Structure 1
Amino acid sequence: MKLRSQRKMGEVSNIRLLKGVATCLLVILVFWQASLPTSAVEQGYVHGIAVDEEGVELRNVSVRVYTSGGALVATTSTGSDGFFGVYLEYGTYDIDLIKSGYAKKSIAIAVQSNDLDIQDIVLNRALKLSALTLSMTASQGDTISIPFTVGNIGEEAEVVEFEISEPEDWSGRILYQNLKTTKVYISPGQSLMLQLDVTVPVNVDCDDYDVSLTAIGTTESSLTFTVLVLPLSDSVIFCQFPGKSVAPGDTVQFQLKLKNPLGAEMRFKISLDSIPANWTASVKSASGEYVTAVILDSNEFVDLVVEVKSPSTAEPGKEYGISVNVESSDGNIMSSLPLNIVLNEIEKDVKITTKFPEVTVEAGELVQYPITIANLGGTDTLLLLSAEPPAEWKTAFKSGTLEVSRLYLEAGKSENLVIEATPPSTANIGTYEILVQVGSEDGVIYAMMKLKATIVGSYALSLKPSTLLTSITTGGSVTFTASITNTGSTSITGVRLGIEAPEEWESSITPTIIEKLEPLESFTFTLVVKAPEDTVAGDYLITLKGLSDQVTSDSVQVRVTATTPTSWGLIGVGIAVVVVIALVLVFMKLKRR
């Protein structure tokens, strides 16, 4: 009975223990559930692959993720396969992909699912080569110039080197602003215009050839140019207008171009043939020198002029011809160019005009008259320019900085020149005329015009020393003055005194210069002249001249008499007395004997 009661009490204890454990587990479960959020945060996995323009995967690309408000929320980088991935909460983002040598790539995304595949993202190289022409033609021996652009669209500056890949025996170079270069510096966002020069050999076969240009910086960019080589033309001399019409007795000029199409320096002989009787013809350079031969570098041009003059007795209405012959020194190139001249009775109509026929100027100052010479006739004409200025005036016809005396003017064309006239600084106030004439070499005047210049001020200096005769002791000095007067009607600047003294004499002038002298104003300079101690007694001349920035006075000479010091004279007298006494004593001694 007692044993049964004990067993019953044990079962009750076990039941109570199980209830306590269950209660504890229930409490823990309640608290754990209470600690959980009411709903989990939703995220998506964003991934993609960074590639270049050819689809090659890019490694080590920096990937930065920003919220739409600009806050950085994630960073990563691509692996060797160009892949990147990042977990992002649902929302909108901006992703920047950055790699040195490439332009920054920015994309906008919206994360709305647990997986977002952006797929391939293309990054453009920072360096970009571009050209308008990728194919061209050239003759054997030609040098072709190909303009191209290199740009930097990246975020960093680039130092770019160029490599040229050309066929064998071809040569190429890069020019920037006409200077040869192999390397350039390009700032972010900057573009440079350059030029690729390619020289085609003379002995190359006629075919298509590829020339490759590569720009090398952090990355590379290339262009390939295709050149179709054509046979070398037999003609090396060209004239745009090989036929012209002139009046009998006139001179006609043909503008020629001579080209060396070869790949090396060459000498060309030039001659004229089939010149009609009593006609004269010559070949000249653009500067007017007579030419019989020309040396040209590879692909170099030279401008030449063939000048032909028909006699005034030549029959009008006929066509005449001459031939220009060119031969290379090696004999491989021979070319001939025919020139035709038709003689017609054509009336000359030449006009000369200016906008400013009258000007005002100060004496000694340069004056310029812009003029226009027009050939309104129907034939090209060689004009002789002349001007008749007043006495001591200087005149010149100028085209830019070039002084001209003859002008070859084509029919219907005009030429702007400048007549420069300089009156003497001593010209008097008044109005002066300059006669301008345009005519032929035979003395026929086609047009004339009068130009006027009014002198409103003149320059003149006079010089007057305080004495024209003075004396000086050898080894000593003498002081005198000289006055300079502005006798003109205009202010004079930089007034000074010039002096020419005997050799080894010393001189000083006080003051050395004055800034300005008004008309009729004078100024006195003080001169100190010193003679050397070994100066031989006698008369010497000192030449004085008034100087200024505008005019010079006439020279004035001052006579200076140099004498020895008195002490030396007494010494001389003493020596003479001693010599006389010595002679007397000798004479008395001889007399006693």
Structure 2
Amino acid sequence: MLYADSGAYGYIVDPNGSPVRDAVVTVLDSNSGVVAMTTTGPNGFFQVALLPGTYTLRVSKAGYVDKTIQFTYGKTGYPVFLGNITLDYAVQYSLPVRNITIPILTYVSLPFTITNKGPRSEDIGIRTNTNCSLTVEFLQGTTIVSKASLNPGDTLSLQMRLWAPYQKTASCTVNIYLDTTVPRTIIMQVNILNTTLGTISAQTKSITAQPGATVSLPVKVTNTLSKIFTADLALGLPQGWTASLQDQNGNAVSTIQLDPQQSIQLLLKVYVPKDAEQASYPVQVKITGRDPYFTETLAFQVNIVAGTPNVALSLNAPHVDAYAGATAKFPFTLGNTGTADCLASFNLSGLPNGYKWQITDSQGNVVSQVYVKAGSTASLTLAVTIPPEVEPTTIPLTLSASCGSSMDKAQLSLGVMGTYKLSFVTQSFYLETVPGSTQTFQIQVQNTGYSSLTNLNLAFTSVPSGFTVNVDPVNVLVLTPGDTATFTVTITTTGDINTGDYYLTFVVKADQLPQTSRDLHVFVKPQQSMVYVALVAVLLVVGALYLVYRRFGRR
């Protein structure tokens, strides 16, 4: 007989320790036969009446993983308390980070996986809400996922992508809701950090100028974001001042569009009023993004003084030699010994047509103007490109630097050392010979360039079998411009060489020039004695035929 207080009892709870109501509790005997079944109440309690023995208890409910335990009920007459039996959720997730810091205007992706560990299929909805303007998306590849259906054992791998908009530094709470048989809520903390984007920058943020001057300040705008942006540019100026932002062509710029990591170089031109008093004046360039929204300000300080600049040129080597086709470089120093900052420009006079020149700074950048603060210097280089086909000469030059009413000049000279060129005087490369003989052939070359050639030599690189070739001289140490070198080639053939056309390849080279290749055409003709023998043989045959004809031909 079974009594109400006999058997086993306990509580079914979830992983949080909360009671699980309406869970099905089934008790099986050692033969897997069902001996008792019940459901849990509101507080997760269950109780089953049993005879003494060993049993298997199985607990199941939709949305949870089935749980099986074994226990023994003895003959003590007291029920067995099985304690709290925890059912795991069928739908389980993995999110490695619950607290993260994201700079503004930045994408961050985190792996997010959902697994169905239960015995039944689960339909899952994914939604979120936040207490700030943070954007949260779940992606599978490039597809946004908001719901899925998972069979037992299936896993869904997603990327949780967060986008932090432009805003003040703030802490946001993100609630992730998994709408399943047993709804789940995941709470994540996202700290949005307002940092300097660096979209607008300048190497010089302070400049000294005089009343009525035009101040030019380079400004660089860079898209440091991970997406394309369109932005507006605005200027903040003192009362009565005017200014403009210009591109490299001098066009006014107020709106720009840049791809990620793309940059544009602009020039801020500030026109100082003539009646501006001596003081420091703030000038601002403000950039405001449209999509995405952001804003940054670059502040300049324009110091108005009554001083004047005084430029001075200094060269260590006013004369430079260079070959035609090369670039001659004149390093020089530009100093400003005045009391006002200076944006100096340059001019080079005396340069013939076809020559080109430019100024480069210490980093190798080509510059048309150089900003030099009062009392400072700049290291620069004048580079003059010489055309390739010019005669040796010396060219006097004048380099001038000017800044407002201040100007300085430096006298230079450029020594052009000419070009290297070698031409063949010999026009026909043909020779006739006979087997077993020796012939000579002269090859003449001339230095038609404007500089001496050294270590000039002629060598045969391909000689057919049956030929022996010697060259005299082997090497000409120096061949001055306009001079001619003669190489005597001695060619010997073997007695058994076949008659016909042969080609012997030779090269001419010097230290200053790449090698030049030519072919010497040699025709080996039969010896004269062999021709006579053949002629006699022919005459004898003809005579014999004539005698035969006289004797037998009339019969």
- Between Structure 1 and Structure 2, which shows a larger proportion of helix residues? 1
Q: TM-score scaled to structure 1, two decimals?
A: 0.38
Q: TM-score scaled to structure 2, two decimals?
A: 0.40
